[in-house]
Amino acid sequence: MTPLMITDIRKSCCDKGFDLVTAIFLDNENQNLDGLRSIDDKCIVILESATAQKESPQIGVRSGDQYIRMKLKINHGFCVGEAITFNGMNKT
């Protein structure tokens, strides 16, 4: 299980019907993961995964954060601040 927290959700200007979602990887030991919801990894498109070299407050990412940017269909039902996980993905 790979826990993440959603830090930003924006409508995609290129793909109607999709949102661009940013989430940072969480440390299992230091976070309250009550209410952790799972995303089916077949329903997403991963656009980017990286470690932030500088702070990007507009998407809720701080320097050093490991983050992921993905594309989800608009009716995903997730919100900023929500803890999520992907089944089948592992943090390396």
Question: How many Å apart are CA 46 and CA 49, to the nearest integer?
Answer: 8
Fold classification of 2-86 (topology level): Alpha-Beta Plaits (3.30.70)
Give 66's strand partners. 51
- Strands 37-39 and 83-86, sheet pairing: parallel
Kindly list the domain boundaries of the chain, sorted by start residue. 2-86
pLDDT of 89 > 80? The answer is no
What three-state secondary structure class fits 70?
strand
- For the full predicted model, state whether its pTM sits above 0.85: no
Asked if residues 84 and 6 have their Cβ atoms less than 8 Å apart, the reply is yes
Please write the tens of the pLDDT for every residue from 12-64: 888 888 999 999 998 766 566 667 787 765 567 888 899 999 999 999 999 99
What is the structure's pLDDT at 75? Answer: 85
Task: Name the DSSP class of 43.
Answer: S
